[in-house]
Chain A
Amino acid sequence: MSEATATKARRSSAGGARPLPGTARGRSLLKPVLLVLALVVMLALPLYVEEFWLRTGFAVFGAVVGAIGLNLLVGTTGQLSLAHAFFLAVGAVTYVFVSGESGGIGLADLSGLGLPPLLGLIAGVLLSGLAGLLFSPIAARLRGIYLGVASLGLVFIGQHVLNSWTSVTGGFNGRSAPEFSLFGFTFGNTDPDLFVLGVPFREAERLWYLGLVLALAAYLFARNLLRSRAGRALQTLRDSEVAASVMGVNVQRYKARVFLVSSMYAGLSGVMFALSIGSIAPESFGLEVSILYLAMIVLGGLGSVGGAALGAMFVSALPLIFQRYADTVPFVGGPGEGGLAAGEAARYLFGLAIILVVLFEPAGLAGLAGRFRRKARDPGGGRTTSRSSAATSSSTTSVPSDPPAQGSTT
């Protein structure tokens, strides 16, 4: 797969005299322009849209980070993990513990270190990574489905710890998350009061930018990782462990590292989740969360970073939007009005979408996008393109893999 795209990229860069050289140059210009445009829109959005969308946006950014991390593990390396909710929980709890204040709420005696939130965020990411690293010796020994079920265990163990370690996690009722601040600038409603072009920048607006930066960083890091030597090694690992080890890839070490990276992503996502909800509770980190993350990456397209982001957007925003527009979406009603509750309607949709994606388009949304792009670029089916698409389609039937766009855009 990567070879096919690599040769294709080389060909298109070397073949200046090939037909349609202008399109190639035009495309290389078009893409950054579009990206910049999208970025400008994202940056300007808080000036125009209402708070609901910004809050949803921050939740989506958090989910994007988590989904990219899970996709590195499941999509790129082929290690089925249902433990993502556990690593999210580690990140969120660490943040709340490190940055939260000691004190009691009701009967619960909470302890906290009261350190700056930035430290809490970093600690959350690191500790989550550490948890992944600790689990990786088990993970590296297990293959495929055994790993999937073993990681299921982590979620339940995590639930138990969340419920019983009251002084740190707040127990069954959870505890509130301290608001984020960066060198004295809080991401809360006031302090300092901030107006940009006459628009008050309150918590939702500030968090939007935080989320945008974090999600963008997560996206770029993962994309570069996949294009690096390590990324290629991970993909080889997914396709065949034997072949990978013959090629000189240290299987155990790479598996441990990808677990580390993936759970660090999850940790960051957990911290963002705590910030977006404003509190943490055990029920936010149940098996269902793991399954939803799995749904995100399957829908988006296994192995594709952009796909994971798309899937995360879809899965995390849909229930919220259904809830808000319950009156206008067909079949969906508010609680107690008959009809489906928003969460339920969304879940039916995810379930159905997963089945359809696995049955008909294993490369997910990213695969669909790639298909359209290929069609638009070359409606007649030129020699190079048809060969590369043949290579991809043959590889997607066996293992869902990267869309061809990923390698060829370089």
Chain B
Amino acid sequence: MTQFLSLLLNGVSLGAIYALIALGFVIIFKASEVVSFTHGSLLLLGAYSIARLSEPIGFFPAVLVGVAITALAAFLVERLIINRLRGAPVISLAIVTIGVDIILLTELIRRIGSDILNVPHPWGGGSFRIGDVGISENRLIATIVAAFLIGLFFLAFKYSSWGVSMRASAEDGETAALMGIKQGRVSALAWVVAGVLAGVAALFLVGSPTPGVSPSAYTVALRAFPAAILGGLDSTGGALVGGLLIGLAESFAAGYQDQLLFLGRGFGDVVPYIVMIGVLLFRPSGLFGTRELTRV
């Protein structure tokens, strides 16, 4: 039972991190119809910047600068490339982000090399316990911060003028443009927000129980893809649910891996994808995504 509870807790905290990343995907998709394959390397960029900068300028300034760098990179991708391709088919847009991803990832992996960069979180690698159920402090803080950020995002999405204009242009871009909503600005802001979310997620993703910044953080970030798809690519609430589901599934599969040994070691790493394919079989647009309707 304690094992179950602690896996549940860990799953939720992991899910919260995934939800942050997945939310970024969804915002970008809603605002500019792009599925950003750049996200994994953006996240790695954030983690790398934080790790490298925290030595010379201290941890908290490094976090601020690192997140800002990630957001700036996302902004540049949008301005320099995506913005020029407005109206291009979704597949071309996805492919172009893959191109960016190749460059960014190659550069980061080259810089990181085979090292594992350590991020000196002030909360260290300690764990927080309630009775027998434990969770690493890093994950606990991650959950709280993620909940706060996600709450903030939903408020902004609902009430701020940016949120309103974004929902409007996601609903019907042309009409929104006629109403004086600047599509370019909405899309650029969406990328910046997604970059910030990825940067924050990176900060926690490379903390305990993960050893530090290594290229494998990229693969972890990719698991937010199933989270976004599972919930429905155009549903912000779906990203949240998807993230939590994926986090829980992964945590349980890893925790009960002794009982699942017949499926091979490291089965937890693939569970997100299996869950995703299973859900897509029954709901091709994800759990909360809008069904694509075709009018003839």
Please report A residues at the B interface, Cβ cutoff 8 Å.
74, 78, 80, 137-138, 141-146, 148-150, 152-154, 156-157, 159-161, 163-165, 241-242, 246, 287, 291, 294-295, 298, 340-341, 344, 347-348, 350-355, 358-359, 362, 398-400
Contact A164 B265 (CB under 8 A): yes
B103 within 8 A of A: yes
- Number of contact residues on B: which range applies? 35 or more
CB-CB under 8 A from B270, the residues of chain A are 156-157, 159-160
In Å, the complex CA distance between A138 and B225 comes to 17
Q: Which segment of B1-9, B50-58, B93-101, B115-123 sits at the interface? A: B93-101
A141 touches B94 (CB 8 A): no
A358 x B85 contact (CB < 8 A):
yes
Q: Is the CB of B277 within 8 A of A351?
A: no
A160 pairs with B264, CB closer than 8 A: yes
Cβ A344 vs Cβ B266 within 8 A = no
Name the A residues within 8 Å of B286 (CB-CB): 146
Taking CB atoms, residues of chain B closer than 8 Å to A154 are 273, 277
- Do residues B229 and A149 form an inter-chain contact, with CB atoms below 8 A? yes
Q: Are A352 and B99 in contact (CB under 8 A)?
A: yes
B273 and A156 within 8 A (CB): yes
Please report which residues of chain B, range 252-271, place their CB below 8 angstroms from some CB of chain A when the two chains form the complex. Answer: 263-267, 269-270
- B258 to chain A minimum Cβ distance, whole angstroms, is 15
List the count of A-B residue pairs having beta carbons below 8 Å apart.
133
Residues of A within 8 A of B101 (CB): 291, 351
CA of A57 to CA of B217 in the docked complex: distance in angstroms?
35
- Nearest chain A CB to B292 CB, angstrom units: 6
Within 8 Å CB of A400, what residues of B?
92
Instruction: Give the residue among B98, B273, B285, B294 with the most A Cβ atoms within 10 A.
Output: B98
Decide: B284 and A148 in contact? CB cutoff 8 A: no
Pick the most buried of B84, B99, B228, B233: most chain A CB atoms within 10 A of its CB. Answer: B99
- CB distance B106 to A157 under 8 Å? no
Q: Is the interface of B mostly helix, strand, loop or mixed?
A: helix
Whether B284 contacts A294 by the Cβ 8 Å rule is no
Residues of A contacting B35 with CB < 8 Å? 145, 148-149
Chain A contact residues: over half helix, strand or loop, or mixed?
Answer: helix
User: Which of A148, A295, A358 has a CB less than 8 Å from the CB of B92?
Assistant: A358
Taken together as a complex, chains A and B put the C-alpha atoms of A190 and B102 apart, in Å, by: 41
Instruction: Please give the distance in Å from B267's CB to the nearest CB on chain A.
Output: 7
The reply to whether A149 and B225 contact each other, CB–CB distance below 8 Å, is yes
Is residue B89 within 8 Å, beta carbon to beta carbon, of the partner chain? yes
**Could you tell me if A344 and B103 are in contact, using CB atoms closer than 8 angstroms?**
no
Of the residues B88, B222, B273, contact of A157 by C-beta under 8 Å: B273
Q: Answer whether A153 and B226 are a contact pair too, CB < 8 Å, given A165-B264, A351-B99, A359-B96.
A: yes
Whether a CB of chain A sits under 8 angstroms from the CB of B281 is yes
Q: What's the Cα separation between A350 and B96 when bound, in Å?
A: 11
Residues from chain B with Cβ under 8 Å of A362 in the complex: 92
Q: Which residues of A contact B280 (CB under 8 A)?
A: 138, 141-142, 146, 150
A171 — nearest CB in chain B belongs to which residue?
Answer: B264
List the B side residues contacting A80 at CB < 8 Å.
91, 94
Q: What is the CB-to-nearest-CB distance from B137 to chain A, in angstroms, rounded to a whole number?
A: 30
Q: Is the CB of B277 within 8 A of A138?
A: yes
- A356 → chain B closest CB, angstroms: 8
Query: Are A153 and B277 touching (Cβ within 8 A)?
Result: yes
Cβ of A355: which chain B residues have Cβ within 8 Å of it?
A: 81, 96, 99-100, 103
B274 interface hit (Cβ, 8 Å): yes
CB of B276 within 8 A of CB of A143, answer: no
Cβ-defined contact, B81 with A160, below 8 A:
no
Chain A residues near B233 (CB-CB < 8 A): 145-146
When C-beta atoms are compared, the residue in chain A nearest to B91 turns out to be A80
B106 A351 Cβ-Cβ under 8 A? yes
Measured CB to CB, the nearest residue on chain B to A162 is B264
Task: Verify if B296 is at the interface (C-beta below 8 Å from A).
Answer: yes
The 10 A-B pairs at the shortest CB distance, nearest first, are namely A164-B264, A354-B99, A153-B273, A351-B102, A351-B103, A355-B99, A358-B96, A141-B284, A160-B270, A347-B106
A and B contact pairs by CB, cutoff 8 A, 7 listed: A138-B280, A146-B229, A148-B35, A150-B229, A156-B273, A159-B270, A294-B98
Q: Please tell me which one of the listed residues B99, B106, B284 contacts residue A142 in the complex, with CB atoms under 8 A apart.
A: B284
